[in-house]
Amino acid sequence: MTQFHDVTIAGAGPAGLACALSLAENGLRVAIVDPAPETTLAVPSFDGREIALTHHSRDWLVRNGIWPHIPAGAISPLRTARIETGQEAPGNHSAALLFRAPETTSDALGYLVPNHLIRKAIHEVVRERPEITILAGRSVVATSGNRDEAMTLLDNGTLIRSGLLIAADGRFSRIRQTRGIGAIIHDFGKEILVCRMRHPEPHDGVALQWFDEGQTIALLPVADDDQPGHLSSLVLTLDPADIAVLKTMSKAEFDRDITRRTQSRMGDMRLESARCTYPLKTVFAHRFETTRLALIGDAAVGMHPITAHGFNLGLRGQEILCEEIARGDGDPGSTSVLRNFERRHRRATAPLFAATNGIASLYTHDARPALALRKAGLAIAERLTPLKALVTGFLMDRDHAA
Ligand SMILES: Cc1cc2nc3c(=O)[nH]c(=O)nc-3n(C[C@H](O)[C@H](O)[C@H](O)COP(=O)(O)OP(=O)(O)OC[C@H]3O[C@@H](n4cnc5c(N)ncnc54)[C@H](O)[C@@H]3O)c2cc1C
Protein backbone atom coordinates (compact mmCIF):
# COMPACT_ATOMS: atom_id res chain seq x y z
CA MET A 1 0.00 0.00 0.00
CA THR A 2 1.27 3.50 -0.82
CA GLN A 3 0.40 6.72 1.03
CA PHE A 4 1.09 10.30 -0.09
CA HIS A 5 1.82 13.13 2.35
CA ASP A 6 3.66 16.45 2.02
CA VAL A 7 6.12 15.49 4.78
CA THR A 8 6.89 12.26 6.67
CA ILE A 9 8.33 12.36 10.19
CA ALA A 10 10.04 9.32 11.72
CA GLY A 11 9.74 9.52 15.51
CA ALA A 12 6.87 10.86 17.65
CA GLY A 13 9.12 12.02 20.51
CA PRO A 14 8.77 15.64 21.61
CA ALA A 15 10.81 16.98 18.67
CA GLY A 16 8.90 15.00 16.02
CA LEU A 17 5.48 15.88 17.48
CA ALA A 18 6.36 19.57 17.76
CA CYS A 19 7.54 19.57 14.16
CA ALA A 20 4.32 17.90 12.95
CA LEU A 21 2.35 20.69 14.58
CA SER A 22 4.48 23.47 13.09
CA LEU A 23 4.16 21.93 9.61
CA ALA A 24 0.38 21.62 10.01
CA GLU A 25 0.34 25.32 10.96
CA ASN A 26 2.05 25.92 7.60
CA GLY A 27 -0.82 24.04 5.91
CA LEU A 28 1.15 20.88 5.14
CA ARG A 29 -0.17 17.31 5.39
CA VAL A 30 2.08 15.22 7.61
CA ALA A 31 2.49 11.52 8.48
CA ILE A 32 4.28 10.81 11.76
CA VAL A 33 5.52 7.27 12.42
CA ASP A 34 6.57 5.70 15.74
CA PRO A 35 6.98 2.08 16.92
CA ALA A 36 5.26 2.89 20.23
CA PRO A 37 1.57 1.95 20.33
CA GLU A 38 -1.03 4.75 20.32
CA THR A 39 -1.80 4.18 24.03
CA THR A 40 1.86 4.80 24.95
CA LEU A 41 2.06 7.94 22.81
CA ALA A 42 -1.18 9.21 24.39
CA VAL A 43 -0.13 8.47 27.98
CA PRO A 44 3.67 8.13 28.11
CA SER A 45 5.02 6.79 31.38
CA PHE A 46 7.32 8.70 33.77
CA ASP A 47 10.90 8.55 32.42
CA GLY A 48 12.72 10.45 35.18
CA ARG A 49 13.54 13.48 33.03
CA GLU A 50 12.49 16.88 34.31
CA ILE A 51 12.95 19.25 31.40
CA ALA A 52 14.20 22.76 32.18
CA LEU A 53 12.33 24.85 29.62
CA THR A 54 13.73 28.21 28.56
CA HIS A 55 11.36 31.14 28.17
CA HIS A 56 11.59 30.73 24.41
CA SER A 57 10.44 27.10 24.64
CA ARG A 58 7.68 27.96 27.11
CA ASP A 59 6.47 30.73 24.78
CA TRP A 60 6.43 28.27 21.87
CA LEU A 61 4.32 25.82 23.90
CA VAL A 62 1.95 28.68 24.86
CA ARG A 63 1.64 29.95 21.26
CA ASN A 64 0.83 26.49 19.99
CA GLY A 65 -1.89 25.81 22.58
CA ILE A 66 0.13 23.11 24.40
CA TRP A 67 0.86 24.87 27.70
CA PRO A 68 -2.77 24.60 29.02
CA HIS A 69 -2.55 20.81 28.52
CA ILE A 70 0.22 20.61 31.15
CA PRO A 71 -1.25 20.49 34.69
CA ALA A 72 -0.31 23.80 36.41
CA GLY A 73 0.68 21.90 39.57
CA ALA A 74 3.33 19.97 37.61
CA ILE A 75 5.21 23.11 36.53
CA SER A 76 8.02 24.17 38.83
CA PRO A 77 9.65 27.62 38.43
CA LEU A 78 13.43 27.56 38.50
CA ARG A 79 14.53 30.60 40.53
CA THR A 80 18.27 30.04 41.00
CA ALA A 81 20.92 27.81 39.45
CA ARG A 82 23.71 26.96 41.89
CA ILE A 83 26.95 25.34 40.76
CA GLU A 84 29.46 23.79 43.15
CA THR A 85 32.61 21.79 42.62
CA GLY A 86 34.62 19.38 44.76
CA GLN A 87 34.35 18.74 48.48
CA GLU A 88 33.83 21.44 51.05
CA ALA A 89 33.76 20.68 54.77
CA PRO A 90 30.38 18.99 55.40
CA GLY A 91 27.75 21.69 55.91
CA ASN A 92 29.85 24.42 54.24
CA HIS A 93 28.33 24.92 50.80
CA SER A 94 29.31 28.56 50.42
CA ALA A 95 31.80 28.25 47.50
CA ALA A 96 29.27 28.33 44.69
CA LEU A 97 28.50 30.05 41.41
CA LEU A 98 24.95 31.41 41.46
CA PHE A 99 22.69 32.43 38.57
CA ARG A 100 19.42 34.23 39.27
CA ALA A 101 16.81 35.85 37.05
CA PRO A 102 17.45 39.63 36.85
CA GLU A 103 15.92 41.52 39.79
CA THR A 104 14.12 43.87 37.40
CA THR A 105 11.79 40.97 36.49
CA SER A 106 9.75 38.70 38.72
CA ASP A 107 10.46 35.93 36.23
CA ALA A 108 11.99 32.57 36.90
CA LEU A 109 15.19 31.50 35.09
CA GLY A 110 13.11 28.77 33.46
CA TYR A 111 10.43 26.16 34.16
CA LEU A 112 10.87 22.50 35.07
CA VAL A 113 8.26 20.18 33.58
CA PRO A 114 8.32 16.35 33.53
CA ASN A 115 9.22 15.07 30.06
CA HIS A 116 6.33 12.58 29.91
CA LEU A 117 3.83 15.40 30.56
CA ILE A 118 5.34 17.50 27.76
CA ARG A 119 5.00 14.53 25.39
CA LYS A 120 1.42 13.87 26.52
CA ALA A 121 0.44 17.54 26.11
CA ILE A 122 1.90 17.87 22.59
CA HIS A 123 0.25 14.59 21.56
CA GLU A 124 -3.16 15.82 22.80
CA VAL A 125 -2.90 18.84 20.50
CA VAL A 126 -1.40 16.94 17.54
CA ARG A 127 -4.08 14.23 17.48
CA GLU A 128 -6.80 16.88 16.99
CA ARG A 129 -5.20 18.17 13.78
CA PRO A 130 -6.79 16.73 10.63
CA GLU A 131 -3.62 17.48 8.60
CA ILE A 132 -1.60 15.05 10.76
CA THR A 133 -1.80 11.24 10.42
CA ILE A 134 -0.24 9.38 13.35
CA LEU A 135 1.02 5.94 12.36
CA ALA A 136 1.59 4.40 15.81
CA GLY A 137 3.02 0.93 16.34
CA ARG A 138 4.97 1.19 13.05
CA SER A 139 8.73 1.52 12.44
CA VAL A 140 10.58 3.04 9.53
CA VAL A 141 12.72 0.24 8.08
CA ALA A 142 14.17 1.81 4.89
CA THR A 143 14.38 5.27 3.36
CA SER A 144 15.63 6.84 0.16
CA GLY A 145 15.51 10.17 -1.59
CA ASN A 146 15.89 11.41 -5.15
CA ARG A 147 15.50 14.70 -7.00
CA ASP A 148 11.71 14.58 -6.72
CA GLU A 149 10.68 12.79 -3.55
CA ALA A 150 11.47 10.94 -0.32
CA MET A 151 10.40 7.33 0.03
CA THR A 152 9.84 5.79 3.44
CA LEU A 153 9.14 2.09 3.94
CA LEU A 154 7.40 0.93 7.11
CA ASP A 155 7.64 -2.49 8.78
CA ASN A 156 4.13 -3.46 7.58
CA GLY A 157 5.11 -2.88 3.94
CA THR A 158 3.45 0.55 3.63
CA LEU A 159 5.38 2.94 1.38
CA ILE A 160 5.05 6.66 2.11
CA ARG A 161 5.93 9.08 -0.70
CA SER A 162 6.48 12.68 0.31
CA GLY A 163 8.49 15.80 -0.47
CA LEU A 164 10.63 15.45 2.65
CA LEU A 165 11.45 12.88 5.32
CA ILE A 166 12.35 14.26 8.74
CA ALA A 167 14.33 11.93 11.02
CA ALA A 168 13.37 12.61 14.66
CA ASP A 169 14.25 9.10 15.79
CA GLY A 170 16.49 10.01 18.73
CA ARG A 171 20.19 10.27 19.48
CA PHE A 172 21.08 6.81 18.15
CA SER A 173 19.09 7.52 14.97
CA ARG A 174 19.03 4.52 12.65
CA ILE A 175 17.94 6.68 9.74
CA ARG A 176 20.99 8.95 10.20
CA GLN A 177 23.24 5.88 10.08
CA THR A 178 21.60 4.11 7.15
CA ARG A 179 21.68 7.30 5.07
CA GLY A 180 25.44 7.50 5.60
CA ILE A 181 25.52 10.57 7.84
CA GLY A 182 28.32 10.23 10.40
CA ALA A 183 28.32 11.87 13.81
CA ILE A 184 30.71 13.04 16.51
CA ILE A 185 29.84 10.70 19.38
CA HIS A 186 31.42 11.54 22.71
CA ASP A 187 31.17 8.63 25.15
CA PHE A 188 31.78 9.90 28.71
CA GLY A 189 31.93 6.26 29.92
CA LYS A 190 29.31 7.09 32.58
CA GLU A 191 25.63 6.53 33.18
CA ILE A 192 22.95 8.80 34.58
CA LEU A 193 20.37 7.72 37.13
CA VAL A 194 17.31 9.96 37.47
CA CYS A 195 14.47 9.71 39.98
CA ARG A 196 12.32 11.79 42.32
CA MET A 197 13.24 12.12 45.99
CA ARG A 198 11.20 13.50 48.90
CA HIS A 199 12.98 15.46 51.64
CA PRO A 200 12.07 17.63 54.64
CA GLU A 201 14.02 20.80 53.68
CA PRO A 202 12.51 23.14 51.04
CA HIS A 203 14.44 23.64 47.79
CA ASP A 204 13.26 27.26 47.30
CA GLY A 205 13.32 26.81 43.54
CA VAL A 206 17.10 26.28 43.50
CA ALA A 207 18.62 23.86 40.99
CA LEU A 208 21.89 22.49 42.32
CA GLN A 209 24.61 21.18 39.99
CA TRP A 210 27.38 19.74 42.13
CA PHE A 211 30.53 18.43 40.45
CA ASP A 212 31.75 16.44 43.42
CA GLU A 213 34.87 14.27 43.43
CA GLY A 214 33.90 10.86 42.01
CA GLN A 215 30.24 11.77 41.40
CA THR A 216 28.17 14.48 39.75
CA ILE A 217 24.84 15.30 41.38
CA ALA A 218 22.04 17.56 40.28
CA LEU A 219 19.04 18.26 42.48
CA LEU A 220 16.28 19.96 40.51
CA PRO A 221 13.29 21.60 42.20
CA VAL A 222 10.00 19.79 41.62
CA ALA A 223 6.61 21.31 42.53
CA ASP A 224 5.20 20.23 45.92
CA ASP A 225 2.33 17.74 45.98
CA ASP A 226 -0.26 17.14 48.73
CA GLN A 227 2.09 14.89 50.77
CA PRO A 228 4.35 16.17 53.57
CA GLY A 229 7.85 17.31 52.61
CA HIS A 230 9.27 18.60 49.33
CA LEU A 231 10.30 16.98 46.07
CA SER A 232 13.46 17.15 44.00
CA SER A 233 14.61 15.34 40.91
CA LEU A 234 17.94 13.61 41.53
CA VAL A 235 20.29 13.33 38.53
CA LEU A 236 23.29 11.24 39.54
CA THR A 237 26.22 10.53 37.18
CA LEU A 238 28.55 7.63 38.01
CA ASP A 239 30.40 4.69 36.47
CA PRO A 240 27.97 2.15 34.94
CA ALA A 241 28.86 -0.51 37.55
CA ASP A 242 27.95 1.84 40.42
CA ILE A 243 24.70 2.83 38.71
CA ALA A 244 23.79 -0.87 38.31
CA VAL A 245 24.23 -1.38 42.08
CA LEU A 246 22.16 1.71 42.93
CA LYS A 247 19.40 0.73 40.55
CA THR A 248 18.83 -2.64 42.17
CA MET A 249 19.50 -1.96 45.87
CA SER A 250 16.53 -1.91 48.25
CA LYS A 251 14.62 1.33 48.70
CA ALA A 252 15.83 1.70 52.30
CA GLU A 253 19.49 1.25 51.26
CA PHE A 254 19.01 3.64 48.36
CA ASP A 255 17.48 6.30 50.63
CA ARG A 256 20.45 6.02 53.01
CA ASP A 257 22.97 6.09 50.16
CA ILE A 258 21.47 9.24 48.58
CA THR A 259 21.18 10.99 51.96
CA ARG A 260 24.91 10.33 52.43
CA ARG A 261 25.83 11.37 48.88
CA THR A 262 23.93 14.65 49.25
CA GLN A 263 25.52 15.24 52.70
CA SER A 264 22.00 15.53 54.23
CA ARG A 265 21.76 19.06 52.83
CA MET A 266 18.02 18.49 52.22
CA GLY A 267 17.61 16.19 55.24
CA ASP A 268 16.75 12.48 54.88
CA MET A 269 16.08 11.58 51.26
CA ARG A 270 13.25 9.19 50.29
CA LEU A 271 12.80 7.60 46.88
CA GLU A 272 9.44 8.53 45.31
CA SER A 273 9.57 7.15 41.78
CA ALA A 274 11.06 4.57 39.46
CA ARG A 275 14.85 4.77 39.01
CA CYS A 276 15.54 5.51 35.29
CA THR A 277 18.97 5.25 33.69
CA TYR A 278 20.57 6.69 30.54
CA PRO A 279 24.02 6.20 28.97
CA LEU A 280 26.04 9.43 28.91
CA LYS A 281 26.85 9.81 25.23
CA THR A 282 26.57 13.05 23.32
CA VAL A 283 26.04 13.20 19.57
CA PHE A 284 26.51 15.85 16.89
CA ALA A 285 25.67 14.79 13.34
CA HIS A 286 28.24 15.67 10.66
CA ARG A 287 25.36 16.97 8.54
CA PHE A 288 21.75 17.79 9.32
CA GLU A 289 20.49 17.05 5.81
CA THR A 290 20.94 15.02 2.68
CA THR A 291 18.75 14.41 -0.36
CA ARG A 292 15.12 14.91 0.76
CA LEU A 293 16.07 14.21 4.41
CA ALA A 294 16.44 16.53 7.42
CA LEU A 295 17.57 15.56 10.94
CA ILE A 296 15.99 17.25 13.98
CA GLY A 297 15.96 16.77 17.76
CA ASP A 298 18.47 14.39 19.30
CA ALA A 299 18.98 12.73 15.89
CA ALA A 300 20.80 15.95 14.90
CA VAL A 301 22.23 17.11 18.25
CA GLY A 302 22.15 14.95 21.39
CA MET A 303 23.36 17.23 24.18
CA HIS A 304 24.94 16.49 27.56
CA PRO A 305 22.15 17.10 30.08
CA ILE A 306 24.16 19.52 32.30
CA THR A 307 23.13 22.59 30.33
CA ALA A 308 19.55 21.26 30.04
CA HIS A 309 19.25 22.22 26.40
CA GLY A 310 18.47 19.04 24.40
CA PHE A 311 14.74 19.56 24.09
CA ASN A 312 15.12 23.35 23.91
CA LEU A 313 17.45 22.96 20.91
CA GLY A 314 15.16 20.31 19.44
CA LEU A 315 12.31 22.80 19.47
CA ARG A 316 14.57 25.45 17.97
CA GLY A 317 15.65 23.11 15.16
CA GLN A 318 12.12 22.29 14.07
CA GLU A 319 11.22 26.00 14.21
CA ILE A 320 14.13 26.83 11.90
CA LEU A 321 13.24 24.03 9.49
CA CYS A 322 9.59 25.07 9.34
CA GLU A 323 10.52 28.74 8.86
CA GLU A 324 12.73 27.77 5.90
CA ILE A 325 9.97 25.58 4.43
CA ALA A 326 7.50 28.48 4.76
CA ARG A 327 10.01 30.83 3.09
CA GLY A 328 10.72 28.42 0.23
CA ASP A 329 8.99 27.86 -3.11
CA GLY A 330 6.44 25.31 -1.87
CA ASP A 331 8.70 22.25 -2.07
CA PRO A 332 9.47 21.26 1.58
CA GLY A 333 12.48 19.12 0.60
CA SER A 334 14.17 21.42 -1.92
CA THR A 335 17.95 21.75 -1.78
CA SER A 336 17.79 25.44 -0.83
CA VAL A 337 15.37 24.83 2.09
CA LEU A 338 17.59 22.06 3.47
CA ARG A 339 20.85 23.98 3.04
CA ASN A 340 19.44 27.06 4.80
CA PHE A 341 18.16 24.86 7.63
CA GLU A 342 21.57 23.17 7.93
CA ARG A 343 23.43 26.48 8.07
CA ARG A 344 21.17 28.12 10.64
CA HIS A 345 20.77 25.10 12.91
CA ARG A 346 24.52 24.44 12.92
CA ARG A 347 25.15 28.04 13.92
CA ALA A 348 22.56 27.74 16.72
CA THR A 349 23.97 24.50 18.15
CA ALA A 350 27.69 23.92 17.40
CA PRO A 351 29.21 26.44 19.88
CA LEU A 352 26.95 25.27 22.70
CA PHE A 353 27.63 21.59 21.98
CA ALA A 354 31.40 22.14 22.07
CA ALA A 355 31.30 24.34 25.18
CA THR A 356 29.04 21.92 27.06
CA ASN A 357 31.26 18.91 26.29
CA GLY A 358 34.37 20.87 27.32
CA ILE A 359 32.87 21.99 30.65
CA ALA A 360 31.45 18.52 31.34
CA SER A 361 34.85 16.90 30.67
CA LEU A 362 36.74 19.33 32.91
CA TYR A 363 34.23 19.24 35.74
CA THR A 364 34.01 15.45 35.86
CA HIS A 365 37.79 14.93 35.72
CA ASP A 366 39.08 14.43 39.25
CA ALA A 367 42.88 14.69 38.79
CA ARG A 368 44.46 17.32 41.12
CA PRO A 369 45.23 20.02 38.47
CA ALA A 370 41.70 19.75 37.07
CA LEU A 371 40.20 20.04 40.56
CA ALA A 372 42.19 23.21 41.25
CA LEU A 373 41.20 24.67 37.86
CA ARG A 374 37.54 23.84 38.53
CA LYS A 375 37.51 25.67 41.85
CA ALA A 376 39.41 28.68 40.47
CA GLY A 377 37.08 28.81 37.46
CA LEU A 378 33.96 28.97 39.64
CA ALA A 379 35.46 31.61 41.95
CA ILE A 380 36.42 33.84 39.01
CA ALA A 381 33.08 33.37 37.23
CA GLU A 382 31.17 34.23 40.43
CA ARG A 383 32.92 37.63 40.51
CA LEU A 384 32.47 38.42 36.80
CA THR A 385 29.11 40.17 36.71
CA PRO A 386 28.97 40.67 32.90
CA LEU A 387 29.75 36.97 32.32
CA LYS A 388 27.04 35.95 34.77
CA ALA A 389 24.54 38.26 33.09
CA LEU A 390 25.46 36.73 29.71
CA VAL A 391 25.03 33.15 30.93
CA THR A 392 21.78 34.02 32.71
CA GLY A 393 20.40 35.55 29.51
CA PHE A 394 21.45 32.46 27.63
CA LEU A 395 19.82 30.10 30.18
CA MET A 396 16.57 32.07 29.98
CA ASP A 397 16.77 32.34 26.16
CA ARG A 398 14.54 35.30 25.52
CA ASP A 399 16.22 36.15 22.19
CA HIS A 400 14.89 34.71 19.01
CA ALA A 401 17.97 35.07 16.82
CA ALA A 402 19.03 31.76 15.28
C1 LIG B 1 18.44 12.73 32.19
C2 LIG B 1 18.09 13.70 31.11
C3 LIG B 1 17.71 14.99 31.43
C4 LIG B 1 17.41 15.93 30.43
N5 LIG B 1 17.08 17.19 30.79
C6 LIG B 1 16.80 18.11 29.83
C7 LIG B 1 16.46 19.47 30.16
O8 LIG B 1 16.42 19.84 31.32
N9 LIG B 1 16.18 20.35 29.15
C10 LIG B 1 16.21 19.96 27.85
O11 LIG B 1 15.93 20.81 26.98
N12 LIG B 1 16.52 18.70 27.49
C13 LIG B 1 16.82 17.76 28.45
N14 LIG B 1 17.13 16.49 28.10
C15 LIG B 1 17.15 16.13 26.68
C16 LIG B 1 15.77 15.80 26.13
O17 LIG B 1 15.13 14.84 26.94
C18 LIG B 1 15.93 15.28 24.70
O19 LIG B 1 16.68 16.22 23.96
C20 LIG B 1 14.59 15.08 23.99
O21 LIG B 1 13.77 14.18 24.69
C22 LIG B 1 14.83 14.52 22.59
O23 LIG B 1 13.61 14.40 21.92
P24 LIG B 1 13.57 13.70 20.49
O25 LIG B 1 12.13 13.77 20.08
O26 LIG B 1 14.59 14.23 19.59
O27 LIG B 1 14.02 12.19 20.74
P28 LIG B 1 13.36 11.02 21.60
O29 LIG B 1 12.63 11.55 22.77
O30 LIG B 1 14.47 10.04 21.82
O31 LIG B 1 12.27 10.36 20.62
C32 LIG B 1 12.63 9.59 19.51
C33 LIG B 1 11.39 8.84 19.02
O34 LIG B 1 11.73 8.15 17.82
C35 LIG B 1 11.10 6.88 17.82
N36 LIG B 1 11.81 5.98 16.90
C37 LIG B 1 12.96 5.30 17.11
N38 LIG B 1 13.27 4.54 16.02
C39 LIG B 1 12.30 4.76 15.10
C40 LIG B 1 12.05 4.26 13.78
N41 LIG B 1 12.87 3.39 13.17
N42 LIG B 1 10.94 4.67 13.13
C43 LIG B 1 10.10 5.58 13.72
N44 LIG B 1 10.30 6.09 14.95
C45 LIG B 1 11.38 5.68 15.65
C46 LIG B 1 11.16 6.47 19.29
O47 LIG B 1 10.18 5.48 19.60
C48 LIG B 1 10.90 7.79 20.01
O49 LIG B 1 9.53 8.01 20.27
C50 LIG B 1 17.45 15.53 29.08
C51 LIG B 1 17.83 14.22 28.74
C52 LIG B 1 18.14 13.31 29.74
C53 LIG B 1 18.54 11.91 29.38
- Distance CA(85)–CA(95), nearest Å, equals 8
Q: Is 230 part of any domain?
A: no
Q: Evaluate: CB of 15 within 6 angstroms of ligand 1.
A: yes
Q: Evaluate: CB of 178 within 6 angstroms of ligand 1.
A: no
Q: Which of the four pLDDT bands, split at 50, 70 and 90, describes residue 374?
A: low
- Distance CA(196)–CA(270), nearest Å, equals 8
Q: Which of the four pLDDT bands, split at 50, 70 and 90, describes residue 400?
A: very low
Which pLDDT score is estimated for 94? 55
d(CA 246, ligand 1 centre) in Å: 24
- Check: CB of residue 55 under 8 Å from CB of residue 395: no
Q: Is 221 part of any domain?
A: no
Which pLDDT score is estimated for 379? 59
* Ligand 1: nearest atom to the Cα of 309: 11
- Distance CA(9)–CA(166), nearest Å, equals 5
- Distance CA(324)–CA(167), nearest Å, equals 17
- Determine which helix (DSSP H) or strand (DSSP E) holds 242, and give its type and residue range: helix 240-248
- Of 55 and 92, the one with more pLDDT: 55
**For ligand 1, mutation pick of 9, 40, 49 (most atoms within 8 Å of CB):** 49
d(CA 116, ligand 1 centre) in Å: 11
**For ligand 1, mutation pick of 160, 281, 311 (most atoms within 8 Å of CB):** 311
pLDDT, one tens digit per residue, over 230-246 is 999 999 999 999 999 99
Mapped onto helix, strand or coil, the DSSP state of residue 339 is: helix
Which pLDDT score is estimated for 85? 79
Q: Is 107 part of any domain?
A: no
Which pLDDT score is estimated for 99? 80
Which pLDDT score is estimated for 214? 84
Mapped onto helix, strand or coil, the DSSP state of residue 392 is: helix
- Distance CA(10)–CA(135), nearest Å, equals 10
- Of 92 and 295, the one with more pLDDT: 295
User: What percentage of residues in the chain have a pLDDT greater than 70?
Assistant: 86
pLDDT, one tens digit per residue, over 315-368 is 999 999 999 999 999 999 999 999 999 999 999 999 888 877 776 666 566 665
Say yes or no to pLDDT of 369 above 60. no
CA distance from start to end of the chain:
40
Among 87-96, 123-132, 208-217, 238-247, the least confident range: 87-96
Say yes or no to pLDDT of 123 above 70. yes
Q: Which of the four pLDDT bands, split at 50, 70 and 90, describes residue 307?
A: confident
Q: Is 381 part of any domain?
A: no
Q: Which of the four pLDDT bands, split at 50, 70 and 90, describes residue 401?
A: very low
CA nearest neighbour of 221 among 236, 209, 205: 205
Say yes or no to pLDDT of 399 above 60. no
Q: Is 120 part of any domain?
A: yes
- Determine which helix (DSSP H) or strand (DSSP E) holds 100, and give its type and residue range: strand 96-100
Q: Is 98 part of any domain?
A: no
CA nearest neighbour of 42 among 120, 156, 146, 140: 120
364 secondary structure, DSSP code: T
Q: Evaluate: CB of 97 within 6 angstroms of ligand 1.
A: no
Q: Which of the four pLDDT bands, split at 50, 70 and 90, describes residue 402?
A: very low
* Ligand 1: nearest atom to the Cα of 296: 26
Provide CB contacts within 8 A for 367, sequence distance 6+.
none
- Distance CA(181)–CA(169), nearest Å, equals 14
Angle at CA of residue 126, ends 123 and 128, nearest 5°? 115
- Determine which helix (DSSP H) or strand (DSSP E) holds 198, and give its type and residue range: strand 183-199
Mapped onto helix, strand or coil, the DSSP state of residue 43 is: coil
- Check: CB of residue 155 under 8 Å from CB of residue 284: no
Q: What is the CATH number of the domain that holds 359?
A: 3.50.50.60
* Ligand 1: nearest atom to the Cα of 36: 47
Among 20-29, 212-221, 373-382, the least confident range: 373-382
Q: Evaluate: CB of 36 within 6 angstroms of ligand 1.
A: yes
Q: Which of the four pLDDT bands, split at 50, 70 and 90, describes residue 173?
A: very high
Which pLDDT score is estimated for 377? 62
d(CA 176, ligand 1 centre) in Å: 15
134 DSSP β-pair partners: 32
- Of 96 and 131, the one with more pLDDT: 131
Instruction: Tell me the mean pLDDT in the region 41-51.
Output: 97
Q: Which domain holds residue 164?
A: 2-54+114-183+284-363
Give me the number of domains the chain comprises.
1
Q: Is the pTM of this model over 0.85?
A: yes
pLDDT, one tens digit per residue, over 7-27 is 999 999 999 999 999 999 999
Instruction: Tell me the mean pLDDT in the region 378-389.
Output: 58
- Average pLDDT across the chain, whole number: 90
Provide CB contacts within 8 A for 151, sequence distance 6+.
143, 144, 145, 159, 160, 161
Instruction: Tell me the mean pLDDT in the region 43-60.
Output: 96
Q: Is 75 part of any domain?
A: no
Q: Is 92 part of any domain?
A: no
- Check: CB of residue 323 under 8 Å from CB of residue 271: no
Sign of the dihedral through C-alpha 16, 22, 24, 28: negative
Which pLDDT score is estimated for 38? 97
**For ligand 1, mutation pick of 17, 34, 309 (most atoms within 8 Å of CB):** 34
